[in-house]
Amino acid sequence: MKSGFGRFAFGLAFGLAFGRASAMTPASVPAADRPSESPDSGQALAQFETDFPAPQELESSVRFWIDVFTRYSRDQILLHDMDEPGRIYAIVDVTGLSPDIQGQKKKREKKAAEERERISGALKRLAGRDAGDTLGTDEEKRLLALFGPAPAPEVLRRSAERVRPQSGLRESFLDGLVRSGRYLDEIRRIFRERGLPEALAYLPHVESSFNHQAVSKAGAAGAWQFTRDTGRLFMTVDDAVDERFDPLLSADAAARLLKRNYEATGRWPLAVTAYNHGLVSIRRAMRELNTDDLMEIIRAYGAKPFGFASKNFYAEFLAAVRVASDPETHFGPWVPLPPDRFAAVELPLPLKLDTVERVFGADGDTLAALNPAFRKAVLRGEKEIPRGYALRVPASTDVRAAFEALTSIGLLPRGAWRAWCRETAGDVFRYVEPVIGGNPHGFQTRS
């Protein structure tokens, strides 16, 4: 099997081996203390605003998501209007009830549901009152004030059916900022090399908080949340290697998917929304409404699957970019994880993990951490790491000695050596196979 590392031809500073181009060595990893964030020049900002406009009517939703990401904690559940997210009816305190423990999660949900029913009932009562009736409680007055002067009964009645719970995500977003230090600079490089706006590198803040192990209820996996079927269009996804769980390999897949979306829609707001909702459905909405304006689609497209998550995905993205561009304002001092440092070796033959441990002198836990695409079958020694996979090993690894060890145990022919490729600003370790009448060493570089 050909690894995803061999399917695109640009170098990453982490030392990954891609296609026929070489990768950067660990020595060339940027030494920045903090991952670079969003554009800081006036020209770059102007280009961002051109690519990713924020219409005034969307601003309330963007502000809502900024608050969800930065102001409200996991101990708070907001009850808000689905169509007007900025209209927050109540904040439910669920301190002491973890969303990660099943029994406590159910108690959180029950507490929020009870408050939701209470608010919904109050809105229905307000909708049914006569124009001359006096408001009975301070709560009714407070709720009515959220709608502005003299809201129509039908508005209140519809709003009663649209009360939605949303947990605060402050801790999750900060965790994502910390995790992003391992990958963000290189993801930005991937998008830049693909000719795409670098701001798209922040999408994992919305998808997974940069958690490469995340798996959704629908089976979407990894930092970029690819389903199995979509992932297989761009990556290797099987029971030995699942590249959805590799933040960099899946970043390149996301870049290709987003580029396809943009080429099909001609607008980045639509391309980003299609990442969540699907390109086929977005193009159907464009045809039915005869528009390429996302706001018009949000207002008028009535297909049931185009629900809250899809309507808000672009606003969430804009909010994530704004927060990640200025994290200290929202979170104070913070320290990102440092970039991973390693070398990469294109495997010349399938190998079991225990053999890799022995010849490369790395323990299984280290190799698993550096190669998150490995599945349980590989980690348990039930399946081999496939030939062509660009194996990540610790930066201090003596790769030539590893090749010699493979030769000494009879897995490679005598004379296997490391060949240097310098098509980019770094080195890549490659196996070279014996040929007849070749160079004086009797080997040539694989390509």
Measure the N-to-C terminal CA separation of the chain; round to a whole number of Å. 15
Is 211 in the same domain as 302? yes
Is 164 in the same domain as 192? no
Evaluate if residue 36 carries a pLDDT over 70.
no
Contact between 138 and 175 (Cβ < 8 Å): no
Alpha carbons 397 and 394: distance in angstroms, whole number: 6
In 194-277, where does DSSP find H-type helix? 203-207, 228-232, 247-265, 268-277
Is 163 in the same domain as 188? no
Residue 113 banded pLDDT, cuts 50, 70, 90 = very high
Alpha carbons 5 and 184: distance in angstroms, whole number: 18
Is 199 in the same domain as 248? yes
Q: What is the mean pLDDT of the chain?
A: 85
Is 183 in the same domain as 162? no
Name the residue with higher pLDDT: 209 or 27.
Answer: 209
Angstrom CA distances, 195 to 189, 190, 200, 395, 439, stand at 10, 9, 11, 30, 38
pLDDT at 253: 97
Residue 336 lies in a domain: no
Evaluate if residue 69 carries a pLDDT over 80.
yes
pTM value?
A: 0.83
Listed residue (243, 245, 280, 244) closest to 260, CA to CA: 280
Burial class (CB in 10 A: 0-12, 13-18, 19+), 389: buried
Is 127 in the same domain as 262? no
What domain range includes position 372?
A: 4-29+341-445
Among the candidates 168, 195, 225, a domain finishes at: 168
- H or E element: which one contains 59? helix 56-70
Residue 223 lies in a domain: yes
Residue 34 lies in a domain: no
Question: How many CB atoms within 10 Å of residue 9?
Answer: 13
Residue 59 lies in a domain: no
Evaluate if residue 445 carries a pLDDT over 70.
no
pLDDT at 415: 62
Among the candidates 150, 168, 186, a domain finishes at: 168
- Three-state DSSP class for 179? helix
Write the pLDDT tens digit of every residue in 291-330. Answer: 999 999 999 998 889 999 999 999 999 999 999 999 999 9
Name the residue with higher pLDDT: 431 or 376.
Answer: 376
Q: What DSSP assignment string belongs to 393-440?
A: EETT--HHHHHHHHHHTTSS-TT---B---SSSS--BB-EEE-TT-ST
pLDDT at 178: 98
Question: How many CB atoms within 10 Å of residue 107?
Answer: 14
Evaluate if residue 220 carries a pLDDT over 90.
yes
Among the candidates 142, 168, 194, a domain finishes at: 168
Instruction: State residue 101 phi and psi, 5-degree precision.
Output: -110, 125
The CATH number linked to 254 is: 1.10.530.10
Residue 66 lies in a domain: no
Contact between 427 and 22 (Cβ < 8 Å): yes
In sequence order, the 6+-apart residues with CB closer than 8 A to the CB of 53 are 269
Question: Buried b / exposed e across 240-264, counting CB within 10 Å, b at 16+?
Answer: bbbbbbbbbbbbbbbbbbbbebbee
Is 161 in the same domain as 188? no
In sequence order, the 6+-apart residues with CB closer than 8 A to the CB of 435 are 442, 443, 444
Contact between 429 and 416 (Cβ < 8 Å): no
Contact between 147 and 155 (Cβ < 8 Å): yes
pLDDT at 304: 85
Instruction: State residue 397 phi and psi, 5-degree precision.
Output: -65, 135
Write the pLDDT tens digit of every residue in 12-26. Answer: 223 333 332 223 322
- Three-state DSSP class for 223? coil
Residue 62 lies in a domain: no
Domain count of the fold of the chain = 3
Alpha carbons 152 and 131: distance in angstroms, whole number: 10
pLDDT at 130: 76
Residue 2 banded pLDDT, cuts 50, 70, 90 = very low
Evaluate if residue 108 carries a pLDDT over 80.
yes
Total number of residues shown for the chain: 447
pLDDT at 17: 34
Alpha carbons 198 and 189: distance in angstroms, whole number: 8
Hey, what amino acid is at 257? L
Residue 68 lies in a domain: no
Is 192 in the same domain as 278? yes
Read off the tokens for 364. 């299984």
